[in-house]
Chain A
Amino acid sequence: MPDAAKPLPGIALVSHCLANQNAKVDEFAVFAGVSPVIGLLRRRGFIIQQMPCPEMSLLGAKRWWQVREQYDTPGYRRHCRALANSVADVLEARLAEGPRDVVVLGVDGSPSSGVTLTGIGSDPGPAWGGRPGEVPSQLVAGKGVWIEELEAVIAARGLPVPRLLGIPMELPGYSVEKSLEELDAFLSAGAGVQS
């Protein structure tokens, strides 16, 4: 029986690759398997809910690098919504125990999982698509396609609006220590938050 005086632990919906770097597109795995984000969530007592990787589950381990505009298609968005509904199924069941802080941890720079920054083709520059080859890209403010669809599904199902943070592991100058400090502060900011 939960202690009514004690807030329930928060729930962290984590982008798949934060617990499984094997899901990264080639050349982007920074850790062997589990990123240190998971250790911090465990120490902070969060319920961890790893989400499926929309890129991996659609295009597999041998997919090419892609930018946001390539994923911004009705079909990929439909795929993301289907995955997001499965995520929401589990979240809904966890929330049945009572209100609590809910956070989404994305991956900044990702065309799918970016929260504050996402990757697009360079402007001006050649468009991404067609014959494979190295094409420049750039980071812009904005969310990835998966995060947009996830938020929309969570809202449509009447579940609490989660707090969002992008882990900057795909950005130049990524510092594990600095990123964990930011995450720790972010988690603390939700202390006492009840959805």
Chain B
Amino acid sequence: MKPNSDVRSFLVALVPDRLVNPPANEANPILDALVELGFGLVQLPPATLAAARAAIAIDYALDQLEDYAANGYRTIWFASTATAADAELSAAIRAACERRGFTAMEAIDLGTASPGDAARIDPLLRAFARSAAA
């Protein structure tokens, strides 16, 4: 049996696919910061996935996020509107959260920022991690 040396962060980020798989040759400092700060990731489907299929994947992701939040984990969603498809996916997530009454998940609006645009996001991310650790 293993000793109780569990080192989990209790920080979980719901992230767009484009944050995990950015366009080729693009730096990804937001993901780098998430890794460095100890966030675990829950990856959303690609924004281009057919809506009916995306809805299923969103539900599975939110099942997990909702349970984390209910058990004292901090949860944060990186909402993207980088493309029309991203905006649609974000709207679907927002609607799914409303249907569930899931309000505990915090959100950072990436807006139209690309994964390489860390200047706006990094301070928010670090503030979140600091408050979670407090």
Contacts and interface: CB of A to CB of B under 8 A. Distances in A.
Interface of A: 16, 19-24, 26-34, 38-39, 42, 47-50, 52-53, 56-57, 60-62, 83, 86, 89-90, 93-94, 134
A56 B6 contact: no
Contact of B41 (A24, A30, A34, A83): A34
Interface stretch (B53-61, B89-97, B98-106): B53-61
B2 interface: yes
A141 to B, nearest CB: 21
B77 interface: no
Contacts of B119: none
Interface residues of B, number: 41
19 contacts: A19-B41, A21-B8, A22-B11, A22-B12, A27-B2, A28-B2, A28-B6, A29-B6, A32-B7, A32-B38, A33-B34, A33-B40, A48-B21, A49-B43, A62-B71, A86-B60, A89-B45, A89-B49, A89-B57
A89 B57 CA distance: 9
A15 B6 CA distance: 18
B45 A90 contact: yes
Given A26-B6, A93-B46, A33 B39 contact: yes
A94 B57 CA distance: 15
Nearest to B28: A42
Given A19-B43, A31-B7, A50-B41, 15 more contacts: A22-B8, A23-B64, A24-B6, A26-B4, A29-B6, A29-B8, A33-B8, A38-B35, A38-B41, A50-B20, A52-B57, A56-B67, A86-B53, A86-B56, A89-B57
A50 B43 contact: yes
A27 B60 CA distance: 24
Interface of B: 1-12, 20-21, 28, 31, 34-35, 37-43, 45-46, 48-50, 53, 56-57, 60-61, 63-64, 67-68, 71, 73
